[in-house]
Chains A and B, each alone.
Chain A
């Protein structure tokens, strides 16, 4: 393995094809990241992110870009959970995700969980820039360690802008070396899985969503702007997915946000 770490990039461009469907003029991946167009249903193109290796090791730097044009519809998933692993020579791994969605475009970004393995050190930053009138359903699930294992250091920041204005900017820092109290009663309190759904829909401006706590460990949080955060904490990945799937029906990742 390259001691300097691996650089990997993947890029998706989705464009309305003018016939009610979505074309993918760019679907490129280099290094251990691989993108596969899987199948299309209706107007949306489906892409699956396939990790040729198990995930970022210490020292690696992965970048994924997705750009959804006006009226295009894209759904991105991943084949399996991503494992953040220690590098042979230590060091932090980085993963940047840069998402842009144009007016009338719609993106469902629904990767499988990211698992922080003992001894790993990964910083993830997901930047989302939405034009007014864009739609988004984005799921992020973080799992602290494989079963019965202590987590590595995981820092995950999610920044969402609508029309250039910040709507959500949150960073979770956990594991060895993170800020004190990260596993205490104010932050994670012993939960080993934490996740969120971010749903942006211009219709929220007309029909605001009510905040609430529909289940223990699950909160529906309308943001300042046409967006809602569904946040959850759970004992493990399975319970976390179960909670996020209990989000109000129109947020459910499987169905188009504009259904």
Chain B
């Protein structure tokens, strides 16, 4: 694996559209559920163990070469909110564009043909990791970092939270993210053996509810 390629893929400046999404943070701020660094940390910790774990396992499975269509269907079943499914596909399409330009290859082209309007972002992330010469662990770490990095950045913009505090939240969560990444990679190896049913299905009821409320509201800064 190339550590440098991992940094390129994980960089928040990688031009794949993530800057317009808050990972549910805007809706949580609006609902008064995130009010500062402590509640941001709790929010991000919850994301790590639910949508973060599922995304990381999807990405790691795709990085192992599991059929993206089966993973995409499994991602749909694990994302009851239509607003979140739409956001995941939109981000997947944008990531696919950036990844194809960055690491051209037949697998990414095939994915774009199969999903012209976008596959779930973590599935694309895993295939992109493969194209970049990265492995399942790298893909899992990228997915987990994105699952908390987006909300942290968004909260800085939404609440005027001290950016040092937001970054410290991410640093404090790092050991937990490492453990979730290991679990995701273990699951991915089972998926490669047994199929997509072996993916974790950890859910976060409030994220689903908040996402639908957010999609229905006018006057928002972030797309999701």
Q: Which of A184, A189, A231 contacts B208 (CB 8 A)?
A: A231
Chain B residue numbers with a CB within 8 Å of A222 are 82
Further pairs besides A181-B45, A185-B42, A185-B206: 6, Cβ < 8 Å: A166-B196, A168-B80, A179-B53, A187-B204, A219-B209, A224-B76
Q: Which of B47, B74, B80, B203 contacts A171 (CB 8 A)?
A: B203
- In chain B between 70 and 109, which residues have their CB closer than 8 angstroms to a CB of chain A? 73-74, 76-78, 80-83, 85
Contact A157 B76 (CB under 8 A): no
The 5 closest A-B pairs by CB, nearest first: A181-B46, A179-B49, A186-B46, A181-B45, A184-B42
Is B68 among interface residues, defined by CB-CB distance under 8 A? no
B35-62 interface bits toward A, Cβ cutoff 8 Å, 1 = contact, 0 = none: 0000100111111111001000000000
Which of the four size classes fits the interface of chain B? 35 or more
User: B-side binding surface: helix, strand, loop or mixed?
Assistant: helix
User: Would you list 24 pairs from A and B whose C-beta atoms are within 8 A, ordered by A residue?
Assistant: A159-B201, A165-B73, A168-B80, A169-B77, A170-B78, A171-B200, A171-B201, A171-B203, A178-B49, A180-B48, A181-B49, A184-B42, A184-B46, A185-B28, A186-B24, A186-B204, A187-B204, A188-B205, A188-B206, A211-B212, A219-B213, A231-B80, A231-B205, A231-B209
Chain B residue numbers with a CB within 8 Å of A172 are 203, 205
Q: Which of B33, B73, B78, B209 contacts A213 (CB 8 A)?
A: B209
Chain A residue numbers with a CB within 8 Å of B201 are 157, 159, 169-171
Contact B80 A223 (CB under 8 A): yes
Count A-B pairs with CB separation below 8 Å. 134
Is A212 among interface residues, defined by CB-CB distance under 8 A? yes
Is A150 among interface residues, defined by CB-CB distance under 8 A? no
